[in-house]
Structure 1
Amino acid sequence: MKKEYNILAISGSLRIQSSNTLLMHAMIKLAPSNLKFEIYGGLNDLPHFNPDLDVEEPPESVQNLRTQLKYSDGVLICTPEYGNGVPGALKNALDWIVSSGEWVNKPTIAIAASPSPMGGDKAHASLLLTLNMMNAQVLHEASLTIPHITLKMNKQGVIFDLETQHELENSLLCLGDACNQMDK
């Protein structure tokens, strides 16, 4: 029996019916059974990052994010692209983690999906810059940009494009393998 790993899943969008939130849920359904997901739902609760608040006892919502990260074995991020970059709410969450270290060496896959032909490439690049600076173990071979997501997944979050489904399944297998390697 394979060891179970706790994966924190984060959508970079605050919209309930966001393609990236639906994609995140679809990926959870595609994941191997040994990956157990906890969905981070506090993106909208975080205060704007302020170093003056990043003290021994930061705001409770920040403590919750840090605790969830601390006890996860890996991270899955699915994000849209807003204004050629990472959505502000996601960037804010990342800013709260920069100095605290919970993401250091944490296996992470970053997915940027967009209805556009570019597939969120600028958001993806920006996200990777921040995650690499934070010393996350970004699994570049498993991190993807997905153009034309609305042509590959329906509004119920069912991925009907087999190539996309296969790529996502491989990304999840890679995440599980990276968690296993960290465990050794």
Structure 2
Amino acid sequence: MKVLGISGSASRYSSNYYLLKAIQSYAEGEHTMSVYDLLPNFELFTPDKLKNGVPQNILTFKTQVIDADAIIICTPEYTHNIPAVLKNMIEWCTASGEFAHKRILPITFTPIAPRGEFAMSSLLMSLQTMDAKVVSQLPLYKTDVDIEHQQIELSEDVRDLVGAALELF
């Protein structure tokens, strides 16, 4: 299965990006997974820009979404919501429907519980609006994994959770 991981963080190489890279390593052999982390480079969405032509980097991203069999969106929580860069990406894809009927696993990855609950709620509302098929939801915390030198090692418990979620795809 072809899986696309999307880091919803405004930081280019955030812990959300490295969590997706750890999931990519874990899923290797079972799934083909790529990780997209350039959301901060997306031009700000406005309806007028749809009329004037969608920028090439956004068209390329939309093609990756279309080509994926399933998507994992991993996001931090900023001020009790998803980051603006993730919301911007969603707005670029809402009218054109790339996420419609796509199997999606939303993950919040935050420092400690209960952070992430508001971001998950916001992300789920947006995914519902786009007719995405949310297979499950996974709140994870930095206390659940080992982080060393910008690499994340998944604990056995987290590997079990991620494995079960991937099975739902």
TM over 0.5: yes
Alignment match, 1:157: 152
Letter matched to residue 7 of structure 1: V
1:153 is paired with a residue whose SS is strand
Which of 63, 68, 78 aligns to 1:82? It is: 78
Count of matched residue pairs: 167
Q: Give the 5 Å matches for 1:9-48.
A: 9-31=5-27, 33-48=29-44
Letter matched to residue 153 of structure 1: D
Alignment match, 1:145: 139
Alignment match, 1:134: 130
Which digits, 9 at most, give the CA deviation of each residue in 1:42-77, with x for residues without a partner? 312211110000137311122112111111111011
Q: Distance in 2 between matches of 1:152 and 1:106?
A: 28
Gaps of 5+ in 2: none
CA offset at residue 152 of structure 1? 2.4
Letter matched to residue 167 of structure 2: L
Letter matched to residue 57 of structure 2: S
Q: Distance in 2 between matches of 1:153 and 1:168?
A: 15
CA offset at residue 104 of structure 1? 0.6
1:117 is paired with a residue whose SS is coil
Which digits, 9 at most, give the CA deviation of each residue in 1:117-171, with x for residues without a partner? 214111011101101110011112xx21123x245232321123x2222111111
Q: Is residue 124 of structure 1 aligned with residue 117 of structure 2?
A: no
Alignment match, 1:114: 110
Q: Distance in 2 between matches of 1:41 and 1:105?
A: 22
CA offset at residue 109 of structure 1? 0.3
Letter matched to residue 51 of structure 1: P
Alignment match, 1:181: none
Contact 2:109/2:139 (<8 A) preserved? yes
Deviating above 6 A after TM superposition, structure 1's stretches of 4 or more consecutive aligned residues are none
Would the alpha carbon gap of residues 50 and 41 (structure 1) be closer, same or farther in structure 2, given more than 3 Å must change?
same
Bigger strand fraction: 2
Aligned sequence identity (%): 30
Q: Give the 5 Å matches for 1:56-71.
A: 57-71=53-67
